[in-house]
Structures are given as C-alpha cells and as structure tokens.
Amino acid sequence: MKKILIIGAGGSLAQYVIEAVKQLPDTSLTLFVRNRNRLSKNIVESCSVFEGDAMNFTDVKNAVKGQDIIYVNLSGDLEAMAKNIVKAMQETGVKRIVAISSIGIYDTPLRSVLIPYRKLADVIEASGLDYTILRPDWFTNGNEIDYALTQKGEPETGSAVSRKSIAAFISSLVENPWLHKKENLGISKP
C-alpha cells in the first residue's frame, strides 16, 4: 500500500488531485488541512484527515512520518512551509515530494506575487530529496486532459491548463514515482 500525504488538501487543485489519486490501486490518502470542515463529506469518508498547520513543524512532521509520497499544494508563506516540510521529510526518511509552484518564477524581473513560489522551488531543489516541482500555467476547470511539459531553462510555452490535466499528471507520478525525479517542470496546455 502506497501512502500519499496531500498538504494543502483544501485547495481547488487538490480536489482534482484527490479524485485522480483515489482511482489508483493500492494507495492510501491522508489529507493535511487546517480545518477538516473545508473538505467535502464524501472525501472525508474515503480518506484519512490530519488537521494541522504547515507553519507548525511538529504538525508537519507528525503528518509526514510513515508516508511514501508528499504532495504539496499550498499558498501563503511558502518558504517557511517548504522548510518545515523538507526538514520533516529529512528527519523521517521520506524522500519523494511533488510540489506546485507557478509559471513565471524564473522571469527577470520576478513579479512580487511570484516570489513565494520561487522560494518554495529553491528550498525544495536544494533539499536533496527526490522532488518534482511543477510550474503550471493558469488553471481552468476544463473537462479535458491535455498538457505539455517543459524543463527548467526552456521557454514556457502553451496556455492555461485544466486542473484535471495537472491532476492526471500528478496521479501518474504517484503511480510511477521514479518518473521525473529531480525535475522542475512547466505544465501547460499545448
């Protein structure tokens, strides 16, 4: 049984990821949220829920312990949260992390709204963990799975991508965790 922890499970993208990962065989989902009331009843019934704050290291460490893959889907003080998550993973021996950042984090000059997403990526890349950082274009609610990936350093191309597409890609990483290790990828609609 593969154990997956979703940190920031109350977010709009996380809802799609939860639905996609739940379809995989032999997986167990734990949802890390500040308030379980933010989750729909059907999700709470089919997953474990850990109420905690990503700014609290003890909460993060207790949630990370015993997991196989950590999926990070947060907003706010991303540098501090990423440091908590990385430290918790290093102390508990959990290696695999998939994290959502943003398109444009390597633009010069860097827009101030993107600074936290850049810091998240920098902390995770420097961690020594088996990471996949995703830099999605804007999200849509389109009912389609259609995406293209670009490597860090390549021009970001494409357009707004559906949450369903991002969730499908993350689900493929959960199913095949050896794919795209140590990669920082743009994801957009071709």
Query: Distance between CA 158 and CA 179 in Å, rounded?
Result: 22
At 185 the three-state DSSP class reads strand
Residue ranges and CATH numbers for the domains of the chain are: 2-188 (3.40.50.720)
Q: What would you measure as the largest C-alpha separation in the chain, in angstroms?
A: 45
- Per residue in 11-59, pLDDT (tens digit) is 999 999 999 999 999 999 999 999 999 898 888 888 999 999 999 999 9
Strand pairing report for 183-188 and 148-151: antiparallel
State the pairing for strand pair 69-72/48-51: unpaired
Cα–Cα distance measured from residue 143 to residue 125, given in angstroms and rounded to the nearest whole number: 32
Strands (E), 41-182: 48-51, 69-72, 96-100, 130-136, 139-140, 148-151, 161-162
The confidence band for 157, taking pLDDT boundaries of 50, 70 and 90, is: confident
Stated pTM of the model:
0.96
pLDDT value, residue 65: 98
User: In this structure, what token pair is assigned to residue 156?
Assistant: 């970001």
d(CA 72, CA 190): 24
70-124 tens-digit pLDDT: 999 999 999 999 999 999 999 999 999 999 999 999 999 999 999 999 999 999 9
C-alpha separations of 169 from 32, 110, 146, 166 in Å: 21, 27, 10, 5
